[in-house]
Structure 1
Amino acid sequence: MSVIKSDLNTIGERLYYLRRNAHLSMQELASNLIVPVYGADNKVILYYKAVAQSTINNIEKDINRPSSDIIIAICRYFGVSADWLLTGKEYEPSENQGLNSREKKADHEQDKTNSTPDPQYLKKIIREEVLNFMRSEEFSQLSLNLLVKKLETKQTKDS
């Protein structure tokens, strides 16, 4: 998106702005936003589905806040950042953001002195890497490929 307005105060206003600029009806946008549906354990994706028109309506009217899956779908569809969609501002890292100074120092000391990292430190690093991968285009393509294979297998079994 080339020009982004900065005077939009809510997620709903920003979504409405994006949708109207793209000349889409709520139904057209809803049918283009595909989100995963998870199993009971919230770990396994069972299938993907389009968002309901009422969901778009409720987000635009600021009745409901979008789920993380819907936020990701909106951002990918319109090519905007989650920072802008959620806050109206682009992310600007600063030295004081993120870990507090004690945690930064502990992480730095961990790297320098201990050849065997703390399990909590490893969990944090692994979690960050997994989340980054899940946000990547490569992950989206892998998920789509798996879905296509499952559908092809199901069609073959049904035939």
Structure 2
Amino acid sequence: MKTFGDRIKFLRQQKNLTMGELAKLLKVPTNHPNETKSLTTTTISNIENNRHSPNSDIVIALSLFFNVSADWLLFGREHSMNNTPPHVEHNDDNSNDDNNIHIDKVKEELGELSSHYTALVTQVNDLLTEVTTLRKIVLNDKESEKR
């Protein structure tokens, strides 16, 4: 499973749900405190077909609903770097209480991923700066040789 959409489709099919059923069962926060809304079948289809990148609220809701890590959903890996898909348990009780218990853990995982991403961007920028400096040195050396 190469993409986020592939992993969502796999999990949905493991629970024998249609896109419409998943859309109705999945609850994401709204801008109003303590309010949630369901997604649409079109949104689920767009996610599964990689036409839509879900926001963090949807990633968290999917992670909680399917009882998998956000890391696995987003990147196909667990913290152990094991690429095996998680075991999917069929659980008819998808109450918000159970989801709320795990939401802090998922938010923490997303925060860690964000920190890792920021560190990687910083490293890439540092490398680009070094390459630019080296390029200038090489060009200056070539100009010096011409004179």
Per the shorter chain, which TM-score range? 0.5 to 0.7
Tell me, which stretches of 5 or more residues in structure 1 are unaligned? Answer: 1-7, 40-44, 94-134, 141-159
Secondary structure of the residue aligned to 1:35 is: strand
SS in 1 for 2:2: coil
* Aligned residue in 1 for 2:101: 137
One-letter code of the match for 2:17?
L
| Structure 2 unmatched runs, 5+ | 82-98, 105-147
Which of 3, 6, 26 is residue 10 of structure 1 equivalent to?
A: 3
Report deviation, 1:47. 2.1
CA contact (8 A) 1:12 1:61 kept: yes
Q: Which residue of 1 aligns with 2:46?
A: 58
Give the distance between the partners of 1:90 and 1:16, measured in 2 at CA: 18
Among residues 1, 25, 31, which one is paired with 2:24 in the alignment? 31
- Higher fraction of helix: 2
Match of 1:82 among 70, 95, 102: 70
Number of the residue aligned with 1:19: 12
How far residue 52 of structure 1 moved from its aligned partner, in angstroms, is: 1.2
SS of 2:35's equivalent? strand
Report percent identity of matched pairs.
40
Whether the aligned pair in 2 keeps the contact of 1:83 and 1:90 (CA below 8 Å) is yes
Give the 3 Å change call, closer, same or farther, for CA 25–71 of structure 1 in structure 2: same
Cα pair distance change 1:137/1:91, threshold 3 Å: same
Structure 1 residue 138: deviation in Å?
A: 7.5
Q: CA deviation digits over 1:4-50, x for unaligned, max 9?
A: xxxx00000000000011100000000010011115xxxxx362111
Which AA in structure 1 matches 2:101? E
Q: Post-superposition shift, 1:92?
A: 3.7
Match of 1:110 in 2: none
Asked if the contact 2:60–2:103 (Cα under 8 Å) also holds between the matched residues in 1, the reply is no
Q: Equivalents in 2 of 1:62, 1:78: separation in Å?
A: 19
What RMSD in Å do the two structures reach over aligned CA positions?
A: 2.3
CA distance in 2, matches of 1:14, 1:139: 20
